[in-house]
Amino acid sequence: MTLTVLFAAGTERWDAYRAPLQEAFLAKGLDADLVQEADPSRVDYIIYAPGSPLQDFRPFTRTRAVLNIWAGVERIVGNPTLTQPLCRMVDPSLTEGMVEWVAGQVLRHHLGLDTHILHQDGIWRHDLVPPLARDRPVAVLGMGALGQACGQALAGLGFAVTGWSRGARAVSGLVGRFGEAGLRDALTGAQIVVLLLPLTPDTENLINAERLGWLHRGAVLINPGRGALIDDAALLAALDSGQVGHATLDVFRTEPLPADHPFWAHPRVTVTPHIAAETRPETAAVVIAENIRRSEAGEALLHVVDRQRGY
Ligand code: NDP
Ligand code: OXD
């Protein structure tokens, strides 16, 4: 029987996703009709993105999974009408993009590139030699698909990386820490901190004044995770006092970041507009098709969100 797959991930994405999804369905041997509108009672799978007009999942009585094209699910996981399994996106291209963005931001600060890029002023600053990466402690908070890949890439460059997660995780090349005590270990003395945690009730405002105080003075905070992981006022105070030397922020409590937000004008904040990493249709389509194939074959879905944990 032909499957009905509803594309509810935004009309603006339809042109980019339609052909890759149809090709991926074919390659997985799925007989599927990809549509933008359908009688909800006939929909087998929903491809979803935050901001979709689809908010009431109750009429989708035979839908077997909602397949998010975003890695983060904080805008959908609490929807009380969503009783179908929810899968988040783990896209190899998104991971690749995040590794490139994080490595770039870390190296910018590690090498002190701004000094030379921003000051072509005739002064020969020959004495500014950065330490080797192995002497630069880096903490990566979040050891999921993205945190692990970024942590391992940084370790590959030589950085002394500590990875922090909720449960104990052994990630090759990294020092692993978990739980509250582990957070203190990971942050104490860290010179660069990368946030790759999901936003949940447990992680909101995790980076507060006390924890910023554990860092090496002048540490750099890099946040491609979610804006609300950080207490904004505490970060601004830490930047002003010099406890934090620079913050590179890709994600914010309100997006787009309002034009009058102090982050825009702060001399030691770099704002990037939620562009750290993007889901890429060609590879994401394969992940979605594989999940539909698995579901139809009675196999377990991949990347299912745990509603209790919120990620
Ligand atoms: P995963 O779900 O794979 O990993 C989440 C990690 O966070 C896990 O290691 C998990 O621990 C850890 N974690 C969750 N809650 C806690 C907690 N309370 N205490 C300690 N550790 C915790 O997510 P991804 O790696 O795929 O993505 C991470 C986030 O990156 C996304 O949720 C999204 O917010 C953000 N993102 C941002 C993008 C951008 O462009 N800026 C693009 C894509 C994603 P454990 O391993 O024990 O479960
Ligand atoms: C995501 C994101 O969660 O782009 O995929 O932030």
Is residue 169 annotated as part of the catalytic site, yes or no?
no
Question: Mean pLDDT, the chain, as a whole number?
Answer: 98
CATH architecture of structural domain 92-271: 3-Layer(aba) Sandwich (3.40)
Q: Which atom of ligand 1 is least distant from the CA of 148?
A: 25
Mean pLDDT value across residues 9-20 = 98
Q: What is the pLDDT of residue 160?
A: 98
In this predicted model, what pLDDT tens digit does every residue of 244-265 receive, in sequence order?
Answer: 999 999 999 999 999 999 999 9
Q: Can you tell me which residue has the tokens 């990566």?
A: 140
Supply the pLDDT for residue 292: 98
pLDDT at residue number 122 = 96
Rg of the chain, C-alpha, whole Å: 21
| Ligand 2, CB within 6 Å, residue ranges | 70-72, 279
Q: What is the DSSP string of 246-269?
A: EEEES--SSSSPPTT-HHHH-TTE
Task: Decide whether any atom of ligand 1 lies within 6 Å of the 186 Cβ.
Answer: no
Q: Give me the percent of the chain exceeding a pLDDT of 90.
A: 100
Catalytic residue check, 274: yes
Mean pLDDT over residues 126-143, rounded? 97
Per-residue pLDDT, 233: 98
How much is the pLDDT for 187? Answer: 98
pTM above 0.95, yes or no: yes
User: Does any ligand 1 atom lie closer than 6 A to the CB of residue 224?
Assistant: yes
Fold for the domain defined by 3-91+279-296: Rossmann fold (3.40.50)
Average pLDDT over residues 283-310: 98
**Residue-level pLDDT at 74:** 98
Q: How far apart, in Å, are the Cα atoms of 3 and each of 22, 64, 89, 123, 304? A: 12, 11, 21, 67, 21
- CATH 3.40.50.720 segments of the chain: 3-91+279-296, 92-271
Per the listing, tokens 């009675």 go with 298
pLDDT, one tens digit per residue, over 93-134 is: 999 999 999 999 999 999 999 999 999 999 999 999 999 999
